[in-house]
Structure 1
Amino acid sequence: MKVLKFGGKSLANGQGIQTVVDIIDQKVKKGEHITVVLSARGTSTDELEAILEQAVKNENYQEALDAFKKYQIADFGNVNFLEEFEILDKLFEGVSLLGDYSKRIKDQVLSQGEVISAKLVTHLLKERGVNAHFTDSRELIITDGQFGDAQPLDTLSKENVVKHFEKYNGTTVNVVTGFIASNAKNETTTLGRNGSNYTASLLANYLNAEELQNFTHVNGIYTANPDLVPDAKKIERLSFTEANELAYFGANILHAKTIIPLIEKNIPLRILNTFDHNNEGTLITSEASEKGIKSLSVLENVSLINLEGRGLLGKVGVDARIFKALAYKNISVSIISQGSSERGIGLVVSADEAKQAKATLEQEFESDFYKRDVSSITVEKDVSVISIIGQDLSTFHKPYNALIRNQVVPLLFNNTVTGKNVSLVVKKNQLHKALNVIHGEIFEISKKVNIAIFGHGLVGGTLIDQILTSAKEIEKRKKIHLNIFAVANSRKVLLQKNGVKKEWRGDLEEHGVVYEIEEIIKYADVHHLENLIAIDNTASKEFTDHYITLVKHGFDLVSSNKVANTLSFDFYKELRKTLEENQKQYLYETNVGAGLPLIDTIKLLHLSGENITRIKGVFSGSLSYLFNTYSVENRKFSEVLQEAIDKGFTEPDPREDLCGNDVGRKLLILARELDLSNEFEDVQIDNLIPENLRDGDAASFLGRLQELDPVYEKIKEDQKEKHVLRYIGDLSGDLSQEKGVLEVKLVSVPESSALGQVKGSDSIFEIYTESYGDQPVVIQGAGAGAAVTARGVFGDILRLTEKG
């Protein structure tokens, strides 16, 4: 025999109830010997409980009760539920008059959902010609007198079940009410919420069933709740032990007591989807499955109680007193652990019992309050428990660090004696994000990185296109899913939680909205977006004012904008302090060398203790092209400059390049990487624009370019033979002191030197160190261009995704 159990969603009106009847009918036609256990239909149990609460408050519950009855009858007017409806009428009327109800009354109310469900399915099967028999489990399962969460009396219950099935056997399909039972006084009891699974498990045990098939609305047990974690994957096989852990720690498909009767008789349990006949579900057997983390379970209806006090640390018997006091009040503790304070103890109880638990503990530790051994007993209500089933403490640092990086700080955690399961208590409003962060970290599923891009000009737009083009290949190779959820300019933002598409430019124009930075932060929070990165591809001083706010709200930073690193040294230090406090990172490789690995190299040398004595080089790709070309070609300076403008190598107003401020900012950034406290005012800059051309608008300057020719012709002629012009940045002096010497200047160098051999718009950097002596570390390559810079920013993004 196989026992089939159907849940509430499977039995809902419409497709659900008809599909259940089809499944049973087909199995009977195939000659299968089956017994069926049913939950209440749809949300009937919750509805009855809500009506009960209305009645006890003497509120008008009749409308809700009429809606409940209407749903149960629906298209099944020829089924007689008069007896069940009369029972409910009398019970609710009595509760309304008394203004109170007991757990015994509540069990009687809730039991009607299962009775109605089983009566209806029995009727529908008989209409199909199936020999179905309505079986009230209150006549079979006998329990103790604990209403609401009764414990079966196995010997008596088994005798009843065996006798019943001897009488109704062969071709009979017993349709059994789940969840409900009765005590020795023949009073209705219930087996706890989700207890229909327990009923099915008990029947399977008593009848030595071949298999228990639990039909639900999902395809099996998943690595996490798919409603909370979209990337959750189905688990094909589990052992009873793993399933029991999942059940205990909140897997909503299983009841915590369901597994035990199956283990006793080694009866397989299969979790199936009522609505997907082709899916084989999850099979649970006694055979051990592959080692490793199996799933994330969640307990939501819980509270965290914290006991704090100087006298708790190392004091013998405190835990025993806690358990004894709570056990006396029938309050179960699911987790107990050292709290966030070394003088504290934290324990997790049902939210419904938290108030009573606090009062009980206050009474137990009353004398300890007087001695000041206990300073406080507090309750944190809005919490949830995440349990990582199969997690070994040796690798727990990975999900834990991922949580911290995403600013989810567990309030408490503990592990089981085996060390194979770890439970975390987190704030309820962080549950969704925490689950996705942990899930992405521990399973071989792509880690989702959510990116907000500010600025979509040449560099920003190129970057977006590069990410969209490469995303699938990166996910395939690196298991990293890059998701651009925000694209913003100075006016409006396009927000799409599942990522912008290749048509993002048109979408921004059509669907973009005016925004403040706080609205993007809120959007990420509301949609539980994890692993946040903000990309600054602007040149805006105003946007850098948001850096600290973004970091405090969980964003790592990547920037091609040089401004933030060249503002006051006080801001520079404050930003880094904020990054450290929030364990976030700020990468800006493109600030100096576009796509060249310059800053990383300098950081590595500096952190390793290498004494860097000097850095000099051609920092500007625009000016590199200008002087590389002018030095070797017999052309006027204005002609070469106009060519650079036409090719897009310079800013629209080339004075922004020629003034040397850009090179000065880059040089200052490198100085600060060496922990020098220079300000921008310390940089000595050789402005390439004659004073008479520095004022006025861009158009006026562009009309007077020829005035530059005699100035630079003389500079060129005054050079030594086989020398060329280069506009360089030079950081020198005693770099072990507080400040270095920063110079930006036009120099003449031998064409055979490293600087002299630079071609096109390449940049070159010479890094002199104590160890390398006169032979510098040389980094050379493309120093300008949107594609190169965007690729450098992209590299920083990927560098961030691989951290931790």
Structure 2
Amino acid sequence: MSLVVAKFGGTSVANYAAMQSCASIIAANPNTKVVVVSASSGVTNLLVELTKATINDIQRDALINDINVVQQDILMQLDASVDVVSAIGQVLNRIQQLSEALVLDRSKAIMDELLSCGELCSSILFAEVLKQIGVNATAFDVRHVLRTDSHFGKAEPQIEQISHLVEQHLLPHLATQCVVTQGFVGADCHGQTTTLGRGGSDYSAALLAEALHAEAVEIWTDVAGIYSTDPRITNNARPLKEISFNEAAEMATFGAKVLHPATILPAVRQQIQVFVGSSKQPELGGTWIRHQVHNPPVFRAVALRRGQTLLNLHSLQMLHAQGFLAHIFTTLAQHKISVDLITTSEVNVALTLDQTGSDSSGQGLLTEALLQELSQHCRVRVEDKLALVALIGNQIATTSGLCKQVFEVLEPYNVRMICQGASPHNLCVLVSENDAADVVTRLHGQLFELEGRC
């Protein structure tokens, strides 16, 4: 059986009209047997607000009402069956119960179950939308098959168990039905609800595709594929018809928002091709991500990741010494710090850290305890408000004549770091956040628009 797994994001299932458009996409391809949906746009944010300890009873009621309005509006337009109305009512009641339970018990397990309720609602509703246009569809609770560990909030999938459970509980449905299930959600071995972290719906779809040995994973979002750079930065950004897994991984790692970075990992393991397209304009096509592509260009795209911190460490102990770097990285690991880029000289080490999820100054990552520990061995200087601009492509490290083109563009800017050579697929520069958009626009103009490489 040639099987396709399709995933629809929050904007694609935001309301009844959006769900109808997505249902048409499913109906047009009989090979689409598994549909993974996110919560309707905005619902997860409301659920996250409900988990906060600072909200009062009035705020809690207002948030729950806002969630109810989104789901009830879809129900009304859907003219749903009694069973569907009852199922949605049960989930909405569960939201009320869990939010009240958090007042007394700040358990992460309760928070994860609460956050899963948005996906539960959208999967029930979307399955009904499919039925009403003649698709034999059923809602399926992904917690029966997507086994994870008990790291609530960012659970780790258990690949072998998922494969076994999918074969046992999910695969038998696919001979006669299209299954609609939830992204972002799993369960541990005790049956407790877990979540894979924000953006985990893409990952869920790929994990299920891997277990099912699917032919393709389709990621339907609000943009027509992956672009040569962020279209919000330059109007000259161009859609890419195809890219390789390696290129996609680099783009996701260095800031492309269309694709969750972990999504392609299961696809790479099984060499499952991934499609990214617009659920609002499916006729525009999209981008295919494949194991191999024809005639890959030297430069494919320019990615941007803001919110970077540069950590500069200076010590004469490094001079002709051994073990200094090992000590520094051991210290960083003990403080749960992940390093992105690194450059070294005889007495200096420069590291970049991604501030995403920390406060605007970066101090959420660089705690006082860490800085004091590092200061015992070296002089520490921290710079923030930086951005990482990454040129993504192929054989960059071994293609002559590229540096001149790039450095001509960078000449007017203060470049804090350059990294090239560790990977054949990227060349990275660290610049001020204030300059980042200009750098991206000018690099795109020099390397893609003039050369016509897109």
Take 2:139 and 2:352, find their aligned partners in 1: how far apart are those partners? 44
Could you tell me how far 1:9 is from its partner in structure 2? 1.6
Where does residue 401 of structure 1 map in the other structure? 408
Q: Which amino acid aligns with 1:86?
A: N
Report the TM-score when normalising by structure 1.
Answer: 0.50
Q: Tell me which residue corresponds to 2:363.
A: 355
2:278 is matched with which residue: 273, 280, 289?
A: 273
Match of 2:89 in 1: 82
Residue matched to 1:56: 54
- Label 1:250 to 1:310 Cα distance change in 2 as closer, same or farther (>3 A): same
Gap change, CA 1:388 and 1:34, over 3 Å in 2: same
Deviations 1:359-398 (A, max 9, x none): 3532542532xxxxx2235352x33322211272551343
Alignment match, 2:250? 245
Which of these residues, 75, 83, 91, is aligned with residue 98 of structure 2? Answer: 91
Q: Distance in 2 between matches of 1:397 and 1:421?
A: 16
Letter in 2 for 1:45: T
Q: 3-state DSSP class of the match of 2:288?
A: strand
Identify which of structures 1 and 2 has the higher relative contact order when contacts are C-alpha pairs closer than 8 Å and 6+ apart: 2
Q: Deviations over 1:483-526 (max 9, x none)?
A: xxxxxxxxxxxxxxxxxxxxxxxxxxxxxxxxxxxxxxxxxxxx
Larger radius of gyration: 1
Q: Aligned equivalents of 1:228 and 1:401: distance in 2?
A: 20
Identical residues among aligned pairs (%) = 28
Cα deviation 1:175-210 (Å, max 9, x = unaligned): 010111111222222222221111111111111112
The amino acid across from 1:328 in the alignment is Q
2:297, 2:365 → 1: CA distance? Answer: 37
CA 142–75 in structure 1, closer or farther in 2 if over 3 Å, else same: closer
Change in Cα spacing, 1:102 to 1:165, as seen in structure 2 (3 Å) is: closer
How far does residue 313 in structure 1 lie from its aligned partner after superposition? Answer: 4.9
CA 433–161 in structure 1, closer or farther in 2 if over 3 Å, else same: same
Q: Does 1:293 align with 2:299?
A: yes
Change in Cα spacing, 1:150 to 1:337, as seen in structure 2 (3 Å) is farther
How many pairs were matched up? 431
Aligned to 2:445: 440
State the distance in 1 between where 2:103 and 2:408 align.
53
> Which structure 2 residues correspond to residues 684-699 of structure 1 after superposition, within 5 A?
none
The within-5 A match list for 1:621-632 is: none
Shift of the alpha carbon at 1:38? 1.0
C-alpha distance 73-319 of structure 1, shift in aligned 2 (>3 A): farther
Q: CA distance change for structure 1 residues 97 and 183 in 2, over 3 Å: closer, same or farther?
A: closer
Judged with a 3 Å threshold, the aligned counterparts in structure 2 of structure 1 residues 363 and 87 are, in CA distance, closer, same or farther, namely: farther
CA contact (8 A) 1:271 1:282 kept: yes
Q: 1:142 aligns to what SS in structure 2?
A: coil
Separation in 1, partners of 2:133, 2:326: 59
C-alpha contact (below 8 Å) 1:388/1:423 kept by paired residues: yes
For the 8 Å contact 1:57–1:96, the answer to whether it is kept is no
The residue number in structure 2 matching 1:376 is 380
Partner of 1:16: 18
Q: Structure 1 146/168 Cα, relative in aligned 2: closer, same or farther at 3 Å?
A: same
The answer on whether the counterparts of 1:131 and 1:173 sit within 8 Å (CA) in structure 2 is yes
Change (3 A) 1:398 1:207: same
Cα 1:238–1:97 shift into 2, 3 Å: same
- 2:190, 2:33 → 1: CA distance? 31
CA distance in 1, matches of 2:238, 2:312: 39
> Counterpart of 2:65?
66
1:673-699 CA-partner distances (Å, limit 9, x unpaired):
xxxxxxxxxxxxxxxxxxxxxxxxxxx
TM-score by length of 2: 0.86
Q: Report the equivalent of 1:743.
A: none
Cα separation, partners in 2 of 1:299 and 1:45, compared to 1, 3 Å: farther
Question: Could you tell me how far apart the structure 2 residues matched to 1:69 and 1:11 are?
Answer: 15
Q: Secondary structure at the match of 1:36?
A: strand
Match of 1:208 among 210, 213, 226: 213
What is the aligned partner in structure 1 of residue 27 from structure 2? 25
* Residues 299 and 393, structure 2, Cα contact 8 Å, conserved in 1: yes
Partner AA of 1:322 in structure 2: I
Deviation of residue 87 (structure 1)?
A: 2.8
What does the per-residue CA deviation read over 1:39-63, in whole Å, with 9 as the maximum and x for residues that have no partner? 122132233224434x435483432
1:155 positional shift: 1.0
SS in 2 for 1:334: coil
CA offset digits 1:228-256 (Å, max 9, x no partner)? 22110011111111112222222212222
Deviates more, 1:147-156 or 1:347-356: 347-356
Change (3 A) 1:319 1:95: farther
CA contact (8 A) 1:268 1:286 kept: yes
- Over the aligned positions, Cα root-mean-square deviation in angstroms equals 2.7
Assess if the C-alpha contact under 8 Å between 2:409 and 2:439 holds in 1: no
2 CA distance for matches of 1:62 and 1:266? 47
Deviation at 1:103, TM superposition (A): 4.2
- Write the deviation string for residues 743-790 of structure 1: whole angstroms up to 9, x where unpaired: xxxxxxxxxxxxxxxxxxxxxxxxxxxxxxxxxxxxxxxxxxxxxxxx
Task: Give the C-alpha shift of residue 106 in structure 1.
Answer: 3.5
| CA distance 1:157–1:66, change in 2 (3 Å) | same
Matches within 5 A, 1:323-722: 323-338=329-344, 343-353=348-358, 354-359=362-367, 361-368=370-377, 374-378=378-382, 380=384, 382-390=385-393, 392=396, 394=400, 395-405=402-412, 408-445=413-450
1:330 Cα deviation after fit: 3.6
Task: Report whether the alignment pairs 1:122 with 2:127.
Answer: yes
Structure 1 residues 45 and 105: alpha-carbon distance in aligned structure 2, compared to 1, 3 A threshold: same
On the 8 A contact 2:6/2:32 being kept in 1, the answer is no
Q: For the structure 1 residues 93 and 430, does the alpha-carbon distance in structure 2 shift closer, same or farther, using more than 3 Å as the test?
A: farther
* 1:409/1:64 CA distance change after superposition, 3 Å: farther
Counterpart amino acid of residue 291 in structure 1:
P
Inter-CA distance 56–320: structure 2 relative to 1 (3 Å threshold):
farther
8 Å contact 1:9–1:41 — kept in the other structure? yes
The question of whether the paired residues in 1 share the 8 Å contact of 2:210 and 2:270 is answered with: yes
The equivalent residue for 1:149 is: 154
2:237 alignment partner, SS class: coil
Q: Which amino acid aligns with 1:317?
A: G
The one-character-per-residue Cα deviations of 1:49-88 (angstroms, maximum 9, x if unpaired) are 24434x4354834323322221222141443422322332
Are residues 21 and 140 of structure 1, via their aligned partners in 2, closer, same or farther at CA, if it must alter by over 3 Å? same
Quick one: structure 1 residues 331 and 150, their matched pair in 2 at CA, closer, same or farther if it must change by over 3 Å?
Answer: farther
Checking the alignment, whether the CA contact within 8 Å between 2:318 and 2:324 is kept in structure 1 is no
Aligned to 1:319: 325
Q: Do the aligned residues in 1 keep the contact of 2:229 with 2:237 (CA within 8 Å)? A: yes
Q: 1:65 to 1:296 in 2, by over 3 A?
A: farther
* Alpha carbons of structure 1 residues 84 and 317: separation in structure 2 relative to 1, 3 Å: farther
**Runs of 5+ consecutive residues of structure 2 not aligned to the other structure:** none
**Cα distance in 1, alignment partners of residues 342 and 224 from structure 2:** 34
- Secondary structure of the corresponding residue to residue 186 of structure 2: strand
Q: Would the alpha carbon gap of residues 384 and 47 (structure 1) be closer, same or farther in structure 2, given more than 3 Å must change?
A: farther
Q: Helix, strand or coil for the counterpart of 2:208?
A: helix
Distance 1:102 1:432, change over 3 A: farther
